[in-house]
Amino acid sequence: MELKDVLYDKKDHVATVTMNRPDRLNALGGALAQSMETAFKDADGDPEVRAIVLTGAGRGFCAGLDMKDNAGGPGGGRRVPAFRGSNLARIMLSTNKPTIAAVNGAAVGWGFELALLCDFRLAAEEARLGDIHVKRGLVQDNGGIFTLPRLIGWSRACEVLLTGDLLPARECERLGIVNKVVPGEGLKAATEELARKLADNAPLAVQMTKRLMRVGLRTELDDALDYSMLVMWSLFDTQDVKEAFRAFAEKREARFIGQ
């Protein structure tokens, strides 16, 4: 699959989406957003993919809106009515496959929101993260207002989004924005280790667990419990569950096939 401004690789049940505008710190411009939509749709629909990694080429994760490409203002200064929000955010938040942001450098504005759209965030020690929309007279339009308050609570989300401050990776770890901070040279290995751990688990169970967690955030307790029981009984007849029981009896690691 040919993509512009994005590198896309699939190996060992893990799809890696790499934003590839390193000369612009992978800032939003060119064909980046459209290519990311295509890559995430492909990974979501590929039964061989069990985990998705998002990272940036070069020394940045994503520096936000490319100010050079939009010197006249977003859209070249034109006021274009928008009746529908970010399609990329919908795609990333709706996939049942676990997603990992490997934040290798600056994750600012749109880039910060992209990291928040992932289930896990691993960051290099030198990375800085934050949202500067309020310093540009704009608002978060790629899911940040949805994800961040749910992740760290209302008051802390206000502290991050309304000040526009950029935060060191360690501070983001303390606030609960980042799962883990590692030395920059160890980020790739740490990401691969986590992706491999996710991909080694029963894929149907992983994907339905993620789906059930989303359901649990927006339903009453009884509905969540009833739905989880339906899912549990539907999984009992899968080949992966039978393999798990056989592997346990034979004292070996299970080999799941996603069926």
End-of-domain residue from the set 185, 200, 215 = 200
Please state the pTM of the whole predicted model: 0.93
Residue percentage of the chain with pLDDT more than 70: 94
Asked if residue 167 and residue 196 are part of one domain, the reply reads yes
Residues 6+ apart with CB under 8 A from 212: 224, 227, 228, 231
Q: What's the pLDDT band for 207 if we cut at 50, 70, 90?
A: very high
**What does residue 148 show for φ and ψ, rounded to 5 degrees?**
-65, -45
Does the pLDDT at position 79 exceed 60?
no
- Domain membership of residue 259 (yes or no) is no
* Model pLDDT, residue 77: 47
Determine the average pLDDT of the residues in 180-207.
Answer: 97
Determine the average pLDDT of the residues in 159-188.
Answer: 97
Asked if residue 227 and residue 128 are part of one domain, the reply reads no
- Domain extent, residue 212, equals 203-250
Mean pLDDT of the chain: 93
Q: What's the pLDDT band for 82 if we cut at 50, 70, 90?
A: low
Residue percentage of the chain with pLDDT more than 90: 90
End-of-domain residue from the set 200, 216, 241 = 200
* Model pLDDT, residue 104: 98
* Model pLDDT, residue 66: 87
- Domain membership of residue 159 (yes or no) is yes
For 106, which DSSP code?
A: E
Determine the average pLDDT of the residues in 216-224.
Answer: 93
Asked if residue 218 and residue 135 are part of one domain, the reply reads no
Count structural domains, the chain.
2
Determine the average pLDDT of the residues in 158-181.
Answer: 97
Distance CA 117, CA 112 (A): 9
Does the pLDDT at position 60 exceed 80?
yes
Determine the average pLDDT of the residues in 141-158.
Answer: 96
